[in-house]
Structure 1
Amino acid sequence: MRSTSSTYRTSRTGRRAARTAAAVAAGALALSLTACGGDDDKSGGTGGKSTESGSSLTLPRLDGTTLEVAAVWTGDEQKNFKRVLAEFTTRTGAKVTFVPAQDPIVNFLGSKIAGGQPPDVALLPQPGAIKQAVDKGWAQPLGADARSELARNYSQAWQDIGKVDGKQYGAYYKAANKSLIWYNAKVFENAGASEPTTWQELLTTAQTVYDSGVTPFSVAGADGWPLTDWFENIYLSQAGPEKYDRLARHEIKWTDPSVRDALTTLAQVWGKKDWVAGGGTGALQTSFTDSVEQTFTGGDQPKSAMVYEGDFVQVNIGQTKARVGTDAKVFPFPAAGDTAPVVTGGDAAVILKDSPGAQALVKFLASPDAATIQAKLGGYLSPNKNVPNSAYPNEVQRRIAKALIDSGDDFRFDMSDQAPQSFGGTPGKGEWKDLQDFLANPSDVAGAQRRLEADAAAAYGS
């Protein structure tokens, strides 16, 4: 969804994970999302302690301390995070102010730092942004207490994603399961459509929905990042984990046949204008928020039946008044190749002004106590393995969270988040713009590849 440098590497386990590991993770996701009957997993079986059961987390008293925390979060996401910050204030006495940031956040932080007013902590949405902050001398390493909290609560892969040159700079507070397709349950019921598990089945389901009189997909083309996520899921499934990692590092070119294959597959949806709400032109004017609204407003005659994006779609669904798990249901992104994909994203807490207060806040954000508060409020997913599964407010979220934790280290982080910001994380430029152009003309696969490679080569300096 947004940036990193060419020197970034995924975790050791992530690099060596082969197709079989991806298959296990994808299978766990599919099983957990589609399981019917039986008791929900509400036991909090990961073994963590919620705030209700009594916390062992020790935080210092920080009376008189003032802190600023910046993040590109709005609406309910921002409001719910402020509840977490309020709990930190209750426990420590520190006054914490949330600073709304603009995207890309690295540019926003650069302006704040140039003006002599950096926030104490920033939530960065890309591994590449963390590295940029380190390279510019902005980011400060996490102290022993915060690192210890991370080690207790996170798998090695999630710890490693927050490291630069072996030092821990980021604590991933928020995760995203980005291998999901949400659908209007009433439309599927009326059409007699079923949840697909393969790409070919997805095309069949789309045709069934179309024949019932509803446009199958809403595509958020106005925002470039959802388009990169579409591509990444198809590419990971078809090309496999090793090639995914190599393309993320620009060790293979975007003119590679594997990219051609993924774009050709993607064009099977994007190239059918009657399958996309508003056609290509309309999709390019459709924001991410609009794409969700098009799918879950209008009763059983919405503008679209399905929308692709991560677990965070639930927040937007809630704003349409549709009920998650009843009106709005979800299935794993179908396998376009040998295995179904498991793509993740996330936001890491990074210290910009080192102080006891900033270190304590990041320690708190790395604890199950903080994540449990926001998990209960909905629309949030934590990579913290000690957050009780019972904290999530509905069956769909509990299953998505369990699938993420059960995947362990066998996942792939969002590819565009691993690219330099100028290629993978800037509106109107690089991959975002190139895929918007491809959405407008899905028949020009070769042209899209050439543009992607030219922009990637310029950004990676190769």
Structure 2
Amino acid sequence: MALPLGIVGVAALALTGCVGDAEPGASEEPGGTAAPAEGCEDYADYGTFEGAEVNIYGTILDEEANRLNESWADFSECTGIEVVYEGSAEFEAQINVRVQGGNPPDLAIFPQPGLLASVAGTGSVLPAPESVVANAQEFWTEDWQNYGTVDGTFYAAPLMASVKGFVWYSPSVWEENGWEVPTTLDELDELTATIAESEVTPWCVGFGSGEATGWPGTDWVEDYVLRTAGPDVYDQWITHEIPFDSPEIVEAMDRVGDLIKNPDYVNGGIGDVSTIATTDFGEAGLPVLDGECAMHHQASFYEGFWGEGVTVAEDGDVWGFILPGTEADAAAVTGGGEFVGAFSDAEEVVAVQTYLSSDLWANNRVSLGGVISANSGLDPANAGSDLLQSAVETLQDPNTTFRFDGSDLMPGAVGSGTFWTGMVDWVSGADTESVLAQIESSWP
């Protein structure tokens, strides 16, 4: 863990022990000299605080929220800081409401760099303290640091990460039917047509996500733009150097439509194409387990949605492969992540923010299962399954062509606005050209 002396830029945290039984006569107050309590050695440099509370607001819900709370349990016990997490499916809208109403959280876990940029533009997000900057420089690549930077100011260190574009499937169902993992997009198309001739529906898909409904559809399009048009076009698209409705984007989106707007190919175990718009993304892949659909497109974090007792392994209940490229062995992937921004510079807030940017937190959280991180200090062996270990190795592989989730980098009005709603319109029957033209006209 990198924790430089002078943990905060505004007020240095004392290098003290953890909450617990101290040596006789030793102080337990911040600034004291108590030796770390047993098991708290890793947290000694963060200081001790009596009755301190830090609230965090984010989009992480359900079991993943439980694991998030568990990831800082030892930190809380050792420092005395009570970390109170509030998750909301309406975060994207409500964070602005809370900021404008003068009631921001101490820390916010932003799921999109574009949203971070828009909120930081109000002047409400504080620049990252020195200790967070140091951790970011040690454990995160320049690209990942840039995602948390707005107009040259570094505000937010990355937290978790995901490799997008996994295609999840049941190994036993595939073995029974003799289906093999495709190595190109053309082979995927051929496999989809073959599966459609069986008693299993090829795909199950869900775009539902509360006020964020539509984002799973943007992931499909981004994956196909990167693979069919290449990284240069992808970069030009997300920065609006080319129009949103450029021919390359139309082609990629139509190719997605050939799969998930085809009534013969969806929506296994759920209904017809119309159900995609309303099916919650967290539940959309579950028919894979029952053999009602053959494939589900979703990020590495979806491992945490399969439920208790489900084995993720090549010979287990469920497994996944990365969506292939136009040629075999293509090494281009999209991914996402969260970023922790602060609205308070209180000592206890900076202590929590620094911990969340460390390799210690990354290893603690990943070892609990379900997620990964692009933190270079993460030991891939701590990932909860072979699939997640492979995802970590993909992120750490210098030969991987990695591009951050496009909608997350676009201006909020588009990335978490018209692009999301446009995908719902599109899967509900609107044609590609009109949807993309409408999104193009909304670009600020």
TM-score range, shorter chain: 0.7 to 0.9
1:8-59: per-residue Cα shift (whole Å, max 9, x none)? xxxxxxxxxxxxxxxxxxxxxxxxxxxxxxxxxxxxxxxxxxx999748831
Mapped partners of 2:129, 2:368: distance in 1: 29
Q: CA deviation at 1:292?
A: 1.4
The answer to whether structure 1 residue 448 and structure 2 residue 439 are counterparts is: no
Mapped partners of 2:44, 2:401: distance in 1: 29
Mapped partners of 2:169, 2:40: distance in 1: 36
Q: Which residue of 2 aligns with 1:30?
A: none
1:372-418: per-residue Cα shift (whole Å, max 9, x none)? 11111111111111111121122221111111122488411101111
Q: CA deviation at 1:349?
A: 0.6
User: Letter of the aligned partner of 1:143 in structure 2?
Assistant: P
Change (3 A) 1:303 1:211: same
RMSD of aligned Cα (Å) = 2.2
Q: Which residue of 2 aligns with 1:439?
A: 427
Q: CA deviation at 1:109?
A: 1.9
Mapped partners of 2:348, 2:246: distance in 1: 48
The answer to whether structure 1 residue 165 and structure 2 residue 154 are counterparts is: no
Q: Which residue of 2 aligns with 1:12?
A: none
The answer to whether structure 1 residue 119 and structure 2 residue 108 are counterparts is: no
Change (3 A) 1:211 1:54: farther
Mapped partners of 2:124, 2:399: distance in 1: 31
Change (3 A) 1:208 1:454: closer
Q: Which runs of 4+ in 1 moved over 6 A?
A: 51-54
Q: Which residue of 1 aligns with 2:28?
A: none
Kept in 2: contact 1:281–1:440 (CA 8 A): yes
Change (3 A) 1:407 1:62: farther
Mapped partners of 1:131, 1:285: distance in 2: 29
Which structure has the highest helix share of the two? 1
User: Letter of the aligned partner of 2:350 in structure 1?
Assistant: Q
Change (3 A) 1:255 1:115: closer
User: Letter of the aligned partner of 1:168 in structure 2?
Assistant: F
Q: Which residue of 1 aligns with 2:217?
A: 227
User: Letter of the aligned partner of 1:363 in structure 2?
Assistant: T
User: Structure 2: any 5+ residue segments left out of the alignment?
Assistant: 1-37
The answer to whether structure 1 residue 289 and structure 2 residue 273 are counterparts is: no
Give secondary structure in 2 for the equivalent of 1:380: coil
Q: CA deviation at 1:317?
A: 1.2
Report matched runs for 1:84-233 at 5 Å.
84-103=71-90, 105-222=91-208, 223-233=213-223
User: Structure 1: any 5+ residue segments left out of the alignment?
Assistant: 1-50
Q: Which residue of 2 aligns with 1:420?
A: 411
TM-score (norm 2): 0.84
Task: Identify which of 65, 82, 89 aligns with 2:69.
Answer: 82
Q: CA deviation at 1:131?
A: 0.8
Kept in 2: contact 1:248–1:415 (CA 8 A): yes
User: Letter of the aligned partner of 1:240 in structure 2?
Assistant: G
Give secondary structure in 1 for the equivalent of 2:120: helix
Mapped partners of 1:229, 1:73: distance in 2: 18
Which range is displaced more, 81-90 or 232-241? Answer: 81-90
Change (3 A) 1:324 1:362: same
User: Letter of the aligned partner of 1:62 in structure 2?
Assistant: F
Task: Identify which of 278, 282, 301 aligns with 1:312.
Answer: 301
Kept in 1: contact 2:238–2:410 (CA 8 A): yes
TM-score (norm 1): 0.81
Q: Which residue of 1 aligns with 2:232?
A: 242
Q: CA deviation at 1:221?
A: 3.2
Q: CA deviation at 1:195?
A: 0.5
1:160-185: per-residue Cα shift (whole Å, max 9, x none)? 11111221101111111002111111
Q: CA deviation at 1:115?
A: 3.8
Mapped partners of 2:435, 2:322: distance in 1: 30
Report matched runs for 1:36-51 at 5 Å.
none
Q: CA deviation at 1:113?
A: 2.9
Q: CA deviation at 1:82?
A: 0.5
Which range is displaced more, 52-61 or 194-203? Answer: 52-61
Mapped partners of 1:260, 1:336: distance in 2: 17
Q: Which residue of 1 aligns with 2:27?
A: none
Kept in 2: contact 1:219–1:283 (CA 8 A): yes
Tell me which structure has the larger Cα radius of gyration. 2
Q: Which residue of 1 aligns with 2:3?
A: none
Q: Which residue of 1 aligns with 2:334?
A: 343
Q: Percent identity?
A: 26
Change (3 A) 1:58 1:206: same
User: Letter of the aligned partner of 2:190 in structure 1?
Assistant: T
Q: CA deviation at 1:340?
A: 5.0
Q: Which has the higher contact order (CA 8 A, sep 6+)?
A: 1
Change (3 A) 1:435 1:114: closer
Task: Identify which of 33, 46, 59 aligns with 1:72.
Answer: 59
Q: Which residue of 2 aligns with 1:389?
A: 380
Q: Which residue of 2 aligns with 1:327?
A: 317
Kept in 1: contact 2:331–2:400 (CA 8 A): no
Mapped partners of 2:180, 2:236: distance in 1: 35
Kept in 2: contact 1:234–1:266 (CA 8 A): yes
Mapped partners of 2:274, 2:335: distance in 1: 29
Change (3 A) 1:129 1:271: closer
Q: CA deviation at 1:122?
A: 0.5
Mapped partners of 2:44, 2:351: distance in 1: 11
Change (3 A) 1:280 1:190: same
Kept in 1: contact 2:157–2:341 (CA 8 A): yes
Change (3 A) 1:56 1:91: closer
Kept in 1: contact 2:250–2:432 (CA 8 A): no
User: Letter of the aligned partner of 1:332 in structure 2?
Assistant: I
Task: Identify which of 403, 406, 425 aligns with 2:394.
Answer: 403
